């Protein structure tokens, strides 16, 4: 049986055809796929659980250098660094993808409304977006993450699993939408006066139908590029927040692994290398993917 993935006439099929030609793009895509597979099948690929200090009792002990049983060595608690990398990939991708989705939803809503409504509402919404961009987000995010985790820990919200991670995701998403809103606005502005939108109006489509089916679906390619970049930047932000010690203590995160590695630099440098290298590969993957995607979705720019 032949499985039909793409409609041969669809825009995305042509995009894929163009994307396939770029070696860099395929490299980025494969990096992203590798990290995703690592995250999805973490329990199968990892040798030990994330909180399994087997090495401490039966193995080479804490802060052991890399060996066959522990390819990236063990850390100060006797955890296997190699295994924790896989669980860290889960956290990184969860935070990255959900944050990017959230930022895209907010960005498309605000930017799309601004572009579609136009006039004074557009002006107002874009002023709001610009002033949001001016906020030095990182310091505010640190402060908010700390305050919210303290505020919620004693209430009923404290029972939600991985609450701190969700707080980080929401705060990052709420602060990272302005670039997406700008692109969404310019796309909506460009498409709303095009002839097929006129045609849809003449056929009596409702405004919402036009917004969703006609405008959004055509604006999406340009927005997807920024969303891919946003995944990378969210992964980095989460790593930095965890590195500074404000992450979720209950999840394994590459940034958090680096915190301990930084203090044990002299005795166990190998603990610091692997988590950072994987943060680098994830960000590189998404950046390269976004770069190639922007060439693929917008072939005119390349000429």
Partner 1 sequence: MYILHIPRINESEKPRFFGLGLPGARMDPIIRYVIRRILFMIPVFLGVTVLVFYMISAIGDPVQIMLAQVPNISQQQIEMVRNYFGMNLPVSTRYLTWLWGVMHLDFGVSIFKVQPVASLLTIYGIQTLKLQFASIAISLVISIFLAIASTAYQYTKKDAVIMGSALLSRSIPAFWLGLILILIFSYWLGIFPSHGAVSIEENLYGNQILDELWHMVLPTLMLTSYNLPTFTLLLRSSMMDVSREEFILASRASGLTKRTVIYKHTLRNAIIPLVAYVMYTFGIMIASSPVTETVFTWPGVGVLFVQAITNLDYPVIMGVIVLLVVTVLFASLIGDILYAIIDPRIKLQ
Within positions 125 to 144, which residues make up the interface with partner 1, using CB under 8 A? Answer: 131, 134-140, 142-144
Return the range that interacts with partner 1 (CB under 8 A); candidates 1-9, 203-211, 214-222, 238-246.
Answer: 238-246
Q: Does residue 231 touch partner 1 according to CB under 8 A? A: no
Does residue 65 touch partner 1 according to CB under 8 A?
Answer: no
Smallest separation (angstroms) from partner 1 to the CB of 271: 10
Phi then psi dihedrals of residue 71, to 5 deg: -55, -30
Q: Decide: is 203 part of the binding site for partner 1 (CB under 8 A).
A: no
Q: What stretch of H or E contains 179? A: helix 178-192
Q: Is 150 in the site for partner 1 (CB under 8 A)?
A: yes
- Name the minimum Å distance from CB 243 to partner 1: 6
Nearest distance from residue 261's CB to partner 1, in Å?
A: 7
Among 182, 169, 162, 122, residue whose Cα is nearest residue 141: 169
Can you state the angle between helices 254-263 and 217-243, rounded to 10 degrees?
30
Beta carbon of residue 291, minimum distance to partner 1 (angstroms, whole number): 7
SS3 176: coil
Count residues binding partner 1 (CB under 8 A). 41
Shorter beta-carbon distance to partner 1: residue 105 or 140: 140
In the complex, minimum distance from the CB of residue 143 to partner 1, in angstroms, rounded to a whole number: 6
Residue whose tokens read 């943060």: 279
Q: Token digits for 43?
A: 């329990």
In the three-class reduction of DSSP (H, G, I as helix; E, B as strand; rest coil), residue 239 is classed as: helix
Nearest distance from C-beta of residue 194 to partner 1, angstroms? 25
Q: Which of 236, 293, 296, 297 binds partner 1 (CB under 8 A)?
A: 236
Interaction between residue 26 and partner 1 (CB under 8 A): no
Q: How many helices (H) and strands (E) does the chain have?
A: 15, 0
Structure tokens belonging to residue 33: 């796929």
**Taking the complex as a whole, how short is the minimal distance between the CB of residue 273 and partner 1, in angstroms?**
7
- Which residues, 6+ apart, have CB-to-CB distance to 223 below 8 Å? 104, 107, 108, 180, 183, 184, 187
Burial 59-96 (b: 16+ CB within 10 A, else e): beebbbeeeebbebbbbeebbbbbbbbbbbbbbbbbbb
SS3 breakdown of the chain: % helix, strand, coil, rounded to 5? 75, 0, 25
Site membership for partner 1, residue 205 (CB under 8 A): no
Chosen residue from 18, 287, 295, 298 binding partner 1 by CB under 8 A: 287
| Sole window of 91-99, 166-174, 219-227, 282-290 interacting with partner 1 (rule: CB under 8 A) | 282-290
Enumerate binding residues for partner 1 (CB under 8 A). 131, 134-140, 142-144, 146-147, 150-151, 232, 236, 239-240, 243-246, 258, 261-262, 265-266, 269, 272-273, 275-277, 279-280, 283-284, 287-288, 291
């Amino acid at each position: 049986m032949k499985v039909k993935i793409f409609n041969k006439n669809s825009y995305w099929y042509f995009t894929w055809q163009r994307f396939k030609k770029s070696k860099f793009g395929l490299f980025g895509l494969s990096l992203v796929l590798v990290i995703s597979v690592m995250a999805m099948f973490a329990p199968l690929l990892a040798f030990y659980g994330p909180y399994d200090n087997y090495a401490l009792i039966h193995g080479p002990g804490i802060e052991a250098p890399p060996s066959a049983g522990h390819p990236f060595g063990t850390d100060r608690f006797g955890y296997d660094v190699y295994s924790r990398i896989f669980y860290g990939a889960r956290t990184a991708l969860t935070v990255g993808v959900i944050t990017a989705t959230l930022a895209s939803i907010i960005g498309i809503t605000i930017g799309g409304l601004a572009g579609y409504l136009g006039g004074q509402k557009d002006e107002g919404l874009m002023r709001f977006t610009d002033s949001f961009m001016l906020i030095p987000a990182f310091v505010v995010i640190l402060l908010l993450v700390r305050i919210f985790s303290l505020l919620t820990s004693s209430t009923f919200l404290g029972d939600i699993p991985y609450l701190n991670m969700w707080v980080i995701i929401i705060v990052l998403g709420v602060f990272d939408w302005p670039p997406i809103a700008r692109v969404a606005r310019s796309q909506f502005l460009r498409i709303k006066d095009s002839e097929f939108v006129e045609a849809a109006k003449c056929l009596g489509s409702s405004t919402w139908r036009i917004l969703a089916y006609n405008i959004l679906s055509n604006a999406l390619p340009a927005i997807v590029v920024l969303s891919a970049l946003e995944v990378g930047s969210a992964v980095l932000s989460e790593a930095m927040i965890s590195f500074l010690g404000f992450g979720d203590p209950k999840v394994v995160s590459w940034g958090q692994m680096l915190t301990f590695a930084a203090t044990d630099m002299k005795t166990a440098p190998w603990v610091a290398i692997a988590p950072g290298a994987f943060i680098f590969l994830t960000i590189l993957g998404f950046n390269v993917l976004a770069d190639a995607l922007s060439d693929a979705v917008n072939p005119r720019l390349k000429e």
